[in-house]
Amino acid sequence: MEVLNQVLHGNAYELINDLPDNSIDVIVTSPPYWRQVRYSDSKDELGQESTPQKYIEKISLLFNKLEPKLKDHGSLWVNVADNYVSNKLKKNEAIRSHPLSLAAIPELFKTAMVYEHGWICRNDIIWYKPNARPSGGVSSRFGVDYERLFWFIKSPHYYFVTQRLPHEWIEKDNLSLMGKSSKAELAGGKESTGMHEVLSLRGKPRTRRYHPLGKLMRSVWPIDVQPDELAFVIYPTIWTINTTGYSGKHFAPFPSKLVHRVLTATCPREVCLNCGKPIFDPSVEQYYPKTTLKTLCDCGTTLGSDLSTPGCVYDPLAGTGTVAKAAIECGRNYIVSEILQDNIQQIHQRIQDAEFKDYYLMEFLDYSQKLKEGLSEG
């Protein structure tokens, strides 16, 4: 595809038309907050719609236009932030929503995608920001330190690599949380079904209730915004902007780590140029759910062959280009588009500075390395 690994400048709603159908493996994006920041003077810029409902209609339209471009095994990840109604509505539109209320944007969006547009919402992830800045000194409510990340698929035959948390991250054993049968098995020294004895990092047997590959990852993801990404951050309250007096351009970038996880889980390492499907990857064989096995290429193409290419991620609303940067770090292809000319230079700079770091399966590999080191110590 000609546009692979390109930064496209312009209105995403128009640029999408040039993408071939069934060409994208994963879409990851974050629309501008509703009526919070004006990035440009362009009438095509998203986020300036007069009501939350019109905003939801506009962003849903973007994803519906993208749907044919996404392969059947593909995933769509959308980070949608909420916002306070505040004084954003004209008087006649504000009748049923109080200025102090949240606008309920993520809820409206999820409902529209599932019930009006037929997307399958597979997870509603909480991206918890342990290092979030307090809400600009607002003391009349709780500070906000999380955002929502929706994972949608278009077909039940989607590509997914099960994500597990290495055992070293699991909190201390809590026997009182275990069911009766597990306790009996533990006392009797029998192996419980599906669970195996796990060696601790020091090589000593732990309990028998842990899965050997780690605990299934859940839907609250604590991910710090990295220090080199803080410069771009705008926090989700209008008060923050006003009180910081920050005069530069404001963006709301994803942390690269968030995108690494999304790519590891749903963007195939390589796809077949013949059929476009993910190529079987022996190093994640044990992490493939049964449904994913059905999505794999059966042309006989192998990883690294002339007929393979990395999976492709698209961010239609690229901002500072975090998705392109993270794709390079994970060894994936990317396409990004952005309406604001000033951002294009910045995206190119971030791409130029990005290096392949093999974030692919980083968490698993890191764990098995530590496990080996632990064993040799013991």
Ligand X SMILES: C[S@@+](CC[C@H](N)C(=O)[O-])C[C@H]1O[C@@H](n2cnc3c(N)ncnc32)[C@H](O)[C@@H]1O
Give dist(CA 212, CA 235) in Å, integer: 39
The dihedrals phi and psi of 149, each to the nearest 5 degrees, come to -130, 110
Strand pairing of 24-29 and 333-338? unpaired
Binding mask 193-232 for ligand X (x = CB under 6 A): ----------------------------------------
Using rule CB under 6 A, residue 11 touches ligand X? yes
Interface with ligand X (CB under 6 A), residue total: 22
Residue 320 is a binding residue for ligand X (CB under 6 A)? yes
To the nearest whole angstrom, how small is the minimum distance from the Cβ of residue 308 to ligand X?
A: 28
Contact between 364 and ligand X per CB under 6 A: no
Q: How far is the CB of 58 from ligand X (least distance, A)?
A: 9
Burial category of 26 from C-beta neighbours within 10 Å (exposed 0-12, middle 13-18, buried 19 and up): buried
DSSP per residue over 28-39, as a string? EE-PPPTTS---
Gap between the Cα atoms of 46 and 81, Å rounded: 14
Q: Which residues contact 58 (CB under 8 A, 6 or more apart)?
A: 46, 49
Q: Which of 296, 324 has the CB closer to ligand X? A: 324
Contacts (CB under 6 A) with ligand X, residues 104-123: none
Contact flag: residue 338 with ligand X (CB under 6 A): yes
Give CA–CA dist 256/254, Å, rounded.
6
- Using CB under 6 A as the binding rule, whether residue 256 contacts ligand X is answered as no
343 binding ligand X? (CB under 6 A): yes
Q: Would you say 82 or 270 has its CB closer to ligand X?
A: 82
Question: Whose Cβ is closer to ligand X: residue 83's or residue 301's?
Answer: 83
Measured from the CB atom, is 84 or 251 closer to ligand X? Answer: 251
Closest distance of CB 377 from ligand X, Å:
40
Q: What is the DSSP letter of 115?
A: I
Residue 340 engages ligand X in binding (rule: CB under 6 A): yes
Q: CA-CA distance, 81 to 110, in Å (whole number)?
A: 12
Distance CA 361, CA 264 (A): 6
Site string for ligand X, 32-71 (x = CB under 6 A): x------x----xxx-------------------------
Residue 314 in contact with ligand X, rule: CB under 6 A = no
Task: Tell me the CB-side half-sphere exposure of residue 93, using CA atoms within 13 A.
Answer: 13
**Binding site residues, ligand X, CB under 6 A:** 11-13, 30, 32, 39, 44-46, 251-254, 317, 319-320, 322, 337-340, 343
